[in-house]
Amino acid sequence: MAAPRFAEQLNVQIGHEFAAHNQYLSCAVYYDALTMPQLAGFFYAQAVEEREHALMMVQYLLDTDVPVRIPGVEQPVAEFTDIAHPLRLALEQERRVTEQVHNLLRIAREESDFASEQFMQWFVKEQVEETATMNDLLTVVSRSIDDVNAIEEWVARERAGEATDPTAPPVAGA
């Protein structure tokens, strides 16, 4: 069984992951409305990934015989000032999630909850990747803000060949 303090915070994190899902879905819809299918597709995929992160956490709690609480989430930002705005928001969100993941890892260590610490290691690695991706994408969009086609081409080129991670924790319901 996971340490109670860790389990409590992991239940909170499930809400953060579902909030990220909704925010990325909002970003995807924004880009879809602008007829930017590559960026829209990127954010639709990111939304699914955030949902899967939440469900990985759900599965871990189920596997460790801990009650799962699915918290409500705030409404996502849906109005953006320019095509870089969703990416600035996404980068801030990934930085915030990185802090949350580090806090969960810290709690697991303080509680000598070795299984939970090991579970969180994958999320630490994932956050490095997610933050770097959003940072790179924001740089490209900021540099090419007046050239939507160049942005779309870059996203299409960079997303080609993305694979699933076989080391990822199991997803509840999958």
The per-residue pLDDT for 93 is 97
Virtual CA dihedral for 153, 155, 158, 159, nearest 10 degrees? -120
In a 3-state reduction of DSSP, which class is residue 171? coil
The per-residue pLDDT for 157 is 93
For residues 53 and 69, give the distance between their C-alpha atoms in angstroms, rounded to a whole number. 15
The per-residue pLDDT for 74 is 92
The per-residue pLDDT for 167 is 85
The per-residue pLDDT for 172 is 86
Which residue positions in the chain have pLDDT lower than 50?
Answer: none
The per-residue pLDDT for 110 is 98
The per-residue pLDDT for 174 is 74
As a residue count, the chain comes to 174
The per-residue pLDDT for 78 is 96
The per-residue pLDDT for 31 is 98
